[in-house]
Amino acid sequence: MTPPIRYTMTAPLDLPLQEQARLIATGAISAVELTQAALDRISARDGITRAVVDLNADALALARDIDEMPADQRPPLAGLAFGIKDIIDVANQPTRCGSHAHDATPAQDAAVVARLRQAGMIPLAKLATYEYALTGPAWDQPNPPARNPWNPDHITGGSSSGSAAAVAGGMMRVALGTDTGGSIRAPAAYCGIVGLKPTHGFVPDQGCFPLSPSLDVIGPLAGCVVDAALVLDAMTPEAGAMRKVGQDIKGMKIAYCRDWFADDLRCDPALLQALDDTAAALSLLGAQIHLTPLPVYDRLEAAGTVILQAEALAIHRTPLSQNYDKYGVDARRNLLTGAVLDDADITRARQIGLEFRAAVDAIFADHAAILLPTTLGPAPAFADFADGPVWTAMRTLPFNVTGHPALSLPCGLATNGLPLGCQLVTKHRDEATLCQIGHVLEQAILPLPRPL
């Protein structure tokens, strides 16, 4: 009998989760070997990316338990590692939220972590975040900012900065992030990976420190669409994100909202070409592409910002007054902007959000999805933030306000060689169609070269 092929302990980490799971199930590799390979990658690469803030000391023991478990009793994702943004609790590991003002060691997992453990996955590491998921990069926090594996002189995007860097840097195939205004999707775009923001309220948020509860969503950053869909289904089985993966999109109507970015002076010329090429690729795959207008973007982003700032200050008002000096300078400034808002501002912002939600739902009455960019260009350089935070041009926050699911995936390279991302949006609780289109598109577009 021919013995199973033994892979070198770097190659499996670059395989999709389904393939990693198959290798473990067939005995081609062990969970311990795969986990050790991930730890070795972190040791070799994280000195550059600075994605990891705390390793799980029990990771190898958890992998050993899986290897000792009878094969027919192993859960579906047994032995696969994942990372966790450091505002999401992992039992017996510190949650610092990227802040000197926060240092807790929870006794139990966040709901999403518990569900992934039940699926057999191993929580490998807590990952860097901007302080309380607010703003960054900043250098007065407990850990230095995570760096972009494509070019360490550039940011990864915020606030799921470490999650994006860890996945793009090949240290793990999937990591959990949170998205309040684009904090899964923008880092995914900047780092050339996939970022999935589920429908608001779809994924349980117990054990995750909130930023703006009416906007916050937990979701995966991953090496491919199927990886993201698998993890979403493990966290929220009713999502059915894998249900349509592999089906074609012939005859599907997709609204291409080109007016939201094409004439914006901040739009990288390569991005416009990349989005037009993406629309053309979808058309060649059988979809019907319709140029479709959306309401003026800036007004929507302003409304979302009002909601975010008001809710964030409400959460931090008491701890900020008690531990003011422990908060970073940028975090304090960001939070205090909420103090100038009154009830009328918030009411008006929410009304604008409702109007936009109605406009988007009207598009979905006749279209399966919306296509637009994630950000208007590649990751900025750290040098751009020398004088403090800079608002980067994105097209994400309005879909936090409306609660629609959205997916960012790579669509090309900018003129400076850094990744660009396109964004798909579908109707509420239609993650299945979102991942169906994303997977088909991913297969049609040439993959980006790996940064490391």
Please give the Cα distance from 135 to 391 (Å, whole number): 9
What is the rounded average pLDDT of the residues 41-50?
Answer: 97
Q: Which H helix or E strand runs over 164?
A: helix 161-168
Question: Phi, psi at residue 165, to the nearest 5°?
Answer: -65, -40
- List all residues 6 or more positions away from 329 whose beta carbon is below 8 Å from its beta carbon: 138, 140
Whether residue 242 is predicted with pLDDT greater than 90 in this model: the reply is yes
Q: Tell me how far CA of residue 264 lies from CA of 256, 260, 390, in angstroms.
A: 16, 8, 17
- Residue 5 confidence class, pLDDT cut points 50, 70, 90: very low
Q: E strands, 87-161, where?
A: 122-127
- Residue 262: what pLDDT? 96
How is residue 363 annotated by DSSP?
H
Please give the Cα distance from 10 to 445 (Å, whole number): 25
Comparison of pLDDT for 391 and 121, the residue scoring more: 121
* pLDDT tens-place string over residues 49-79: 999 999 999 999 999 999 999 999 999 999 9
- Residue 10: what pLDDT? 52
* pLDDT tens-place string over residues 109-166: 999 999 999 999 999 999 999 999 999 999 999 999 999 999 999 999 999 999 999 9
* pLDDT tens-place string over residues 419-437: 999 999 999 999 999 999 9
Whether residue 447 is predicted with pLDDT greater than 80 in this model: the reply is no
Please give the Cα distance from 226 to 432 (Å, whole number): 11
Whether residue 1 is predicted with pLDDT greater than 50 in this model: the reply is no
Pairing of strands 81-85, 122-127: parallel
Spell out the domains of the chain, with CATH numbers in brackets: 11-298+340-444 (3.90.1300.10)
Whether residue 8 is predicted with pLDDT greater than 50 in this model: the reply is no
- Residue 445: what pLDDT? 87
Please give the Cα distance from 421 to 187 (Å, whole number): 10
Catalytic residues: 85, 159, 183
> How much of the chain, in percent, has pLDDT values that exceed 90?
94
What is the rounded average pLDDT of the residues 349-357?
Answer: 98
Tokens 């940064």 locate to 451
- In DSSP terms, 410 is beta-bridged to 421
CA dihedral 88, 94, 97, 101 (to 10 degrees): 150
